[in-house]
Amino acid sequence: MEIKLQSLTKVFVAKDKKETVAVNNMDITIPSGKLIGLLGPSGCGKSTTLYMIAGLLEPTAGKIYFGDEDVTNTPPELRGIGLVFQNYALYPHMTVAQNIMFPLENIKVPKAEALERAQEMADLVGIGELMNRKPKELSGGQQQRVAIARALVKKPRVLLLDEPLSNLDARLRLQTREEIKRIQRETGITTIFVTHDQEEAMSISDEIVLMEAGIKQQVGVPQDVYDQPDNLFVAKFLGTPPINTFAGKLEAGKIMLAGHNIGKVESKTNQEVLIGIRPEGFNVVEKSKLSLPIYMVETIGRDTALIIKDPNDEAKTFRAIVDSSHRIKPGDTVNFAIKPDKLYVFNKDTGELVK
Ligand SMILES: Nc1ncnc2c1ncn2[C@@H]1O[C@H](COP(=O)(O)OP(=O)(O)OP(=O)(O)O)[C@@H](O)[C@H]1O
Ligand SMILES: [Mg+2]
C-alpha cells in the first residue's frame, strides 16, 4: 500500500497559546511494500508524523493517502494499520496467545479462527512455542515480538513502528532489527520504522526519510543519502564517527583548506565555505602539501583512528580513519590526500551543498 503525505502539518497549541510546529509541510511518498526508516533527532516530529498516519493525531493541515484513498479523516480502526510502540504495551494478565488474539476479539472473529491466526503470527515472529506464557515470563525481545505479532494479526495494510527497539540491550537490538527486516520481507507489508538511531535506520531501511525540526531534509536509499547529502545537517547526522568540518575557501573552483588546495568544485564563485571530509576520506600518501602532525592514535582492529590537530585551529582536533597497516605513531607527521568522493563543500550560512 503506497502512502502519500501531502503538505502534512501539525501545530500543537499550548494552554498559553504558544505554538509548536511539530511537523511542517511534509511531502513524502512511501512506496508500497518497502520498509522506510523515519529518522531524526529527538523532538524533530517523527512520532507526530507516525501518529497522524495512524489516525491518532489529527493533522492541522495537509492530507494522507493510502493508495488512492484519502484517509485524512478516517478513524484509526478503519485505516488498516498495525502499530507497535517502544514499550510494547502488552496486557500483563493475558497470555501471549490472548495478547495476540485481542485485536481479533474486538472484531468478533470466532475463537478457533482467532487462535489459528494468532499461532500463525507467533510462528512468523519466532515465538510460536511461547503462546501460554505471560509477558513477564518473556525477555524484552520476545515481548517486542508479541507486540509485532499483535500488530500484524489483523493483516494491516501498513505497519507502523515507533522506536520498537529502544528498550532492548545492544545485542538484542541488533538481533530484533534483523528479525523485523525478515518479517517485513516475508509479509511484504509497507512499514514505517521510526528511530533516532542513524545506524539502525541505515541498516534496516530500503529508504530513509531524514527530518529535522519538523521539516523533511532528505529522502533516499541510505547509502545514496550518506554519499550525496543535500546539506550539512544530513552529512553530520549520518555516519560514525561523524563527518569532520573545517572553515575553508573556494578560489576559482579550488577547495582551499588552511592554504592548501585539497580538491575542486564546479562552482567558480569565490566564497568562504564549510568543508566536510568523512573520517574515511583521508589517504595516507608519500608526498602531498597537506602534511599534518598526528596527536593521538587509536587502533581498533582493522582500522586506525588518527586524532589530528585542526589545521585552522590548534585547540581543535579531528579524526581520520585509515588502514591499520600504516603503523602511524603519535608525533609522526603524515601526508594526506583527500578522497574526492568523501569531500563536500557547504554554504557557510545556509548549510546547503555547494556543487
Ligand atoms: N501533545 C503535544 N503537545 C504539545 N507539543 C507536543 C505534543 N506532542 C509533541 N509535541 C512537540 O512536538 C515536537 C515533536 O515531537 P515528537 O514526539 O513528534 O518528536 P520525536 O521526533 O518523536 O522525538 P523523540 O525521538 O524524542 O521521540 C516536539 O517539540 C514536542 O515537544
Ligand atoms: Mg518519538
pLDDT tens-digit profile of 223-275?
A: 999 999 999 999 999 999 999 999 999 999 999 999 999 999 999 999 999 99
Gap from CA of 135 to ligand 2 centroid (Å): 24
Residue 42 has pLDDT above 80, yes or no: yes
Boundary of a domain, candidates 236, 263, 283: 236
The ligand minimizing its distance to the Cα of 12 is: 1
The ligand minimizing its distance to the Cα of 15 is: 1
Q: Supply the range of the domain harboring residue 310.
A: 244-347
Residue 354 covered by a domain: no
Answer yes or no: are the C-beta atoms of 159 and 189 closer than 8 Å. yes
Q: pLDDT class for 162, splitting at 50, 70, 90?
A: very high
How many CA atoms does the CB half-sphere of 225 hold within 13 Å? 27
Q: Ligand 1, closest atom to CA 51? A: 18
12 and 83 co-located in one domain? yes
d(CA 295, CA 257): 19
d(CA 62, CA 138): 41
Q: Into how many domains does the chain fold? A: 2
- Would you state the cell numbers that stand for residue 86, as one nine-digit string? 517502544
Q: pLDDT class for 206, splitting at 50, 70, 90?
A: very high
Gap from CA of 20 to ligand 2 centroid (Å): 15
What is the model's pLDDT at position 106?
A: 82
The CATH number of the domain where 115 resides is what?
A: 3.40.50.300
Q: pLDDT class for 327, splitting at 50, 70, 90?
A: confident
Could you count the other beta carbons within 10 Å of the beta carbon of residue 145? 28
What is the model's pLDDT at position 147?
A: 94
pLDDT tens-digit profile of 119-139?
A: 999 999 899 999 999 999 999
Q: Is 12 in the pocket of ligand 1 (CB under 6 A)?
A: yes
Which residue is it, cell 515472529?
125
Work out the mean pLDDT of the chain and round it to a whole number: 94
158 and 223 co-located in one domain? yes
Could you count the other beta carbons within 10 Å of the beta carbon of residue 150? 27
184 and 296 co-located in one domain? no
Residue 115 has pLDDT above 90, yes or no: yes
What is the model's pLDDT at position 169?
A: 85
What is the model's pLDDT at position 295?
A: 94
Secondary structure (DSSP) of 294-342: EEEEEEETTEEEEEEEETTEEEEEEEEEEEGGG---TT-EEEEEE-GGG
Q: Is 13 in the pocket of ligand 1 (CB under 6 A)?
A: no
Q: Ligand 1, closest atom to CA 13? A: 4
Amino acid letter, residue 234: V
28 and 85 co-located in one domain? yes
pLDDT tens-digit profile of 277-286?
A: 999 999 999 9
Asked whether the whole model's pTM tops 0.85, one would answer: yes
Residue 150 covered by a domain: yes
Residue 170 has pLDDT above 90, yes or no: no
- Ligand 1 pocket test target in 20, 166, 209 with most atoms within 8 Å of CB: 20
> How much is the average pLDDT of 11-27?
96
**CA-proximal residue: ligand 1, atom 18 (nearest):** 45
C-alpha angle with apex 13: 10 to 17, nearest 5 degrees? 150
CA distances from 340 to 37, 50, 201, 293, 345 (A): 28, 38, 26, 22, 11
Torsion of CA 79, 104, 84, 36, to 10 degrees: -50
Q: Ligand 1, closest atom to CA 194? A: 22
Residue 147 covered by a domain: yes
The ligand minimizing its distance to the Cα of 13 is: 1
Residue 31 covered by a domain: yes
d(CA 39, CA 210): 5
Residue 265 covered by a domain: yes
Residue 88 has pLDDT above 80, yes or no: no
| 17 membership: H or E segment, kind and range | none
292 and 214 co-located in one domain? no
Residue 232 covered by a domain: yes
227 and 339 co-located in one domain? no
110 and 142 co-located in one domain? yes
144 and 68 co-located in one domain? yes
Q: pLDDT class for 141, splitting at 50, 70, 90?
A: confident
Residue 100 covered by a domain: yes
155 and 277 co-located in one domain? no
The ligand minimizing its distance to the Cα of 58 is: 1
How many CA atoms does the CB half-sphere of 285 hold within 13 Å? 12
d(CA 219, CA 231): 12
Boundary of a domain, candidates 236, 252, 281: 236
10 and 65 co-located in one domain? yes
Q: Is 196 in the pocket of ligand 1 (CB under 6 A)?
A: yes
Boundary of a domain, candidates 236, 263, 285: 236
d(CA 163, CA 9): 21
The CATH number of the domain where 272 resides is what?
A: 2.40.50.140
Secondary structure (3-state) at 225:
helix
Of 77-81, 164-168, 187-191, 256-260, the range with the lowest mean pLDDT is: 164-168
133 and 256 co-located in one domain? no
What is the model's pLDDT at position 153?
A: 93
Residue 201 has pLDDT above 90, yes or no: yes
- Ligand 1 pocket test target in 24, 44, 237 with most atoms within 8 Å of CB: 44
Q: Is 91 in the pocket of ligand 1 (CB under 6 A)?
A: no
Share of the chain above pLDDT 90, in %: 86
Q: Is 47 in the pocket of ligand 1 (CB under 6 A)?
A: yes
226 and 252 co-located in one domain? no
Residue 352 covered by a domain: no
Q: Ligand 1, closest atom to CA 44? A: 21
How many CA atoms does the CB half-sphere of 260 hold within 13 Å? 16
What is the model's pLDDT at position 166?
A: 86
**CA-proximal residue: ligand 1, atom 11 (nearest):** 22
Secondary structure (3-state) at 32:
coil
pLDDT tens-digit profile of 44-59?
A: 999 999 999 999 999 9
Q: Where are the extended beta strands (E) located within the chain?
A: 3-13, 19-30, 35-39, 61-66, 69-70, 81-84, 158-162, 190-195, 207-212, 215-220, 244-251, 254-257, 260-264, 271-277, 282-285, 290-300, 303-310, 313-323, 333-338, 343-347
Residue 94 has pLDDT above 80, yes or no: yes
